[in-house]
Amino acid sequence: MIPAISTQHDLGHANTLGLPCVAERFTAPENLSELTQALETAYARGWPLTLLGGGSNLILPGRLPGLVVQPAMAGWWLEDGEGDSVRVHAEAGMNWHRLVMALAARGLWGIENLALIPGHCGAAPIQNIGAYGVELADVLEAVEVLHLADGRVTWLDRDACEFGYRDSVFKGALSGRVVIMRLVLRLSRHARPRLGYGDLSNRVGACASPLEVAEAVCAVRREKLPDPCDLGNAGSFFKNPRVAAEQAERLLAQYPGMPHFPQPDGRVKLAAGWLIDQCGLKGWRDGHFGVHERQALVLVHFGGGSADELLDVAARVAARVKGRFGVVLEREPRLPG
């Protein structure tokens, strides 16, 4: 069955930055058959193809030609694993935060620290989403993908996903080659709280439930981060940079209070928000975009601007940081294609 395809579809509300964008054609397939038909139609007619998730980590242009496909498969279910483990199957169109809260309410541990991260489950492996000391890679067992070249449906285990810090094979060798269909996560019924990041340990008791931890994470995020429904943003706009130990030592000699986190590979991770704040940019605004007044790592959209304007503001923020600290900031949100 061929899914409904609309034309001149407004995507302004389909990206958390709130950037104005119109899709020449748009469809939201609800199953594998509809997805396959949509892809075959695009190929047969020579339409450029753009895959869209929840729009939480994307910088959209004013217009997207061809066909925009936003998978709408949004089911999830549980499967008993070994011992106290539980496998969670989540389809690509499932809202990530809703899944986290539903599982936490069932007493399952593993992703409660990832509460309130916007977007759909299908986009989570691309970015290897992470927060408060936990990454998706910590709990992901497998990803089901549809290969665009030949329509095959296969599974990738965690190693094949090549996860790194805010990175994966879906940004590299498989970029633009597959559609993520489903995730399989391995969670636990046994209490395994991760409270060492920030002040989480001060907000919940020693015997907290996963739901209580998730709610505490939500409270912290709401205090520090703007709600995209109120002020357009894509969360953290820059990755926390990792620098050589020698460079970190030089910076610490000059800035003893600089947050720094030694990494297993010998490098040192720095806090991009702190670097931006030290450049006096917290709360800075230029036209339609600016740096959030409470969290310098977040660039915000006040309305009316374009992707080009946002990228220009981001480039100037990165240039200020490089000029003062000699540290290069890398953008987190992606451009289509």
Instruction: Tell me the whole-structure pTM to 2 decimals.
Output: 0.87
Whether domain 76-224 has CATH 3.30.465.10: the reply is yes
Q: Active-site residue among 166, 182, 186, 320? A: 166
Active site residue 236: yes
pLDDT at 3: 75
Q: Active-site residue among 135, 158, 186, 236? A: 236
Q: Tens-of-pLDDT digits for all 337 residues of the chain?
A: 667 999 999 999 999 999 999 999 999 999 999 999 999 999 999 999 999 998 988 999 999 999 999 999 999 999 986 778 999 999 999 999 999 999 999 999 999 999 999 999 999 999 999 999 899 999 999 999 999 999 999 999 999 999 998 899 999 999 999 999 999 999 999 988 888 777 788 898 778 999 999 999 999 999 888 999 899 999 899 999 999 999 999 999 999 999 999 999 999 999 999 999 999 999 999 999 999 999 999 999 999 999 999 999 999 999 999 999 999 999 999 998 6
Q: Which CATH architecture has domain 232-325?
A: Alpha-Beta Complex (3.90)
CA distances from 3 to 8, 88, 135, 147 (A): 16, 28, 35, 19
Active site residue 332: yes
What is the C-alpha to C-alpha distance for residues 156 and 141, in angstroms, rounded to an integer?
Answer: 9
Every domain of the chain and the residues it spans: 6-69, 76-224, 232-325
Contacts for 39 with CB less than 8 Å, ≥ 6 apart = 49, 69, 148, 151, 179
Q: Active-site residue among 141, 162, 212, 332? A: 332
Can you name the CATH fold of 6-69?
3.30.43
